[in-house]
Chain A
């Protein structure tokens, strides 16, 4: 990473969140540098999704601060919408807009939020679809696409906003095995191009391959931060060791 700017792309400071009595995020502090790919790993229920979703405020937090390139992300209002537009998000369940064609899914936000011209937005959308390999599906509705194609279209939809950073919450967990790789390849391609990314995933081989840094969460806490090589071969914490062990046992 040839990154000399000192302002992190994403920064969380002392973020806490409860669901009733459950303390799902415990004093989370974390930063992602420009161009860095950070992978979050952890057992089910450890708070990975909650952390990911709290960054663009799809989930409210009880305390703490969140910054995008040094700018605090407010809790509501116009500014929040504006900053959300600069943070791409890819969901486990794709969430393509069901009532629109794939192409319209992609042009919607550029036209509506960035006020781009329809023609320009359309051309760019087609390029993006080409890039993720589903250009020939542009005029279909999402239901007509396979899961893997939907997820790649969803990634194209995020990219159309030219986000500064992309968040992925288990992008391949809802996919049949044969479709997982095509989606991971698209994400790996983005990593190569220098996109800043925060990725929650259970795909360990993929994590090892693309991550600059691995964050291991358990019980709402960040238990370990490490390089992928160190993390997968010789983790520092006992909990990470147990977790990796349980994966191999399966």
Chain B
């Protein structure tokens, strides 16, 4: 079985005439985009957004250090948050394979965390949690809600990975005398995990983006520090542009990483459908 990009399954390869049409439409779209960009740039210069006062502070080392500190906090929050959400997600996924009660609770928690917007969890930690007497730092007030918000999605991703592992793998392990538990940890989960690495990295990107809500709790991460700079220099557009580029770069790197891993997986783990060819043909 060939596993190509999902696009290969959704679209027929275009013929020569369609290709020509696609080229023309692409050309027109590009021209339109260029025109729009030109308009924006003109509008900026008219309103004086290119004045040196909006950009000169980027030559100062302290500006970059300040943004860099914010970026570090952002990365720290995203990584800690992801680690927590992967742990919670793993537990919820395990819960989904347990007896009725645990399964029900897990299913509820998964749906709940997936359904509620991250911002609500953040407000909860910001407004409600401190009233209980527990006063987490600003860092945790952003990291924990982001983690909780992501854990349901992680659980579902892991579960779909587990379900994608052919049943024969589990049966072979059981037939050798491994316990259900050992079978899961030695055979099923390692394969499931490889399948879902790309989804997990996508979720890491989402956690990273969610941490931009940190301004709500005044945690000094990238976005919050950007806001401080904006009020200091009264330069909104230039700073937002630079910060956006930083976010795009990070997420681009993560996506590249994810595609790399997915690609190498396809080369090494894709043997399974091959091994099951006979079974599939047999019904």
Contacts and interface: CB of A to CB of B under 8 A. Distances in A.
B178 interface: yes
Nearest to A45: B283
Interface residues of B, number: 31
Contacts of B169: 95, 97-98
Contacts of A99: 190-191, 194, 269
A58 B279 CA distance: 17
Interface in A53-87: 56, 58, 78, 81-82, 84-87
Interface string B203-220: 000000000000000000
Interface in B184-198: 186-187, 190-191, 194
Contact of B271 (A98, A108, A113): A98
B179 A81 contact: yes
Interface in B250-279: 268-272, 274-279
A186 interface: no
B174 interface: yes
A93 B168 contact: yes
B279 A96 contact: no
A90 B270 CA distance: 22
Contacts of B111: none
B173 interface: yes
Contacts of A142: 271, 275
B173 A98 contact: no
Interface centre among A58, A95, A157 (most CB of B within 10 A): A95
A150 B275 contact: yes
B271 A84 contact: no
Interface in A131-175: 141-144, 147, 150, 154, 157-158, 161, 173-175
Contact of B278 (A84, A86, A112, A175): A175
A101 to B, nearest CB: 11
Contact of B277 (A78, A87, A174): A174
A143 B277 contact: no
Among A89, A98, A174, the most chain B Cβ lie within 10 Å of the Cβ of A98
A91 B168 contact: yes
Contact of B269 (A81, A85, A98, A109): A98
A231 interface: no
B164 to A, nearest CB: 12
With a 10 A CB-CB cut-off, give which of A78, A88, A99, A112 has the most chain B CB atoms. Answer: A99
Contacts of A97: 169, 172-173, 187
9 contacts: A58-B171, A85-B176, A92-B282, A93-B276, A95-B168, A108-B178, A109-B177, A143-B268, A158-B176
Interface of B: 166, 168-169, 171-179, 182, 186-187, 190-191, 194, 268-272, 274-279, 281-282
Given A86-B177, A93-B278, A95-B166, 4 more contacts: A78-B179, A92-B278, A93-B166, A150-B275
Interface of A: 56, 58, 78, 81-82, 84-89, 91-99, 108-109, 112-113, 141-144, 147, 150, 154, 157-158, 161, 173-175
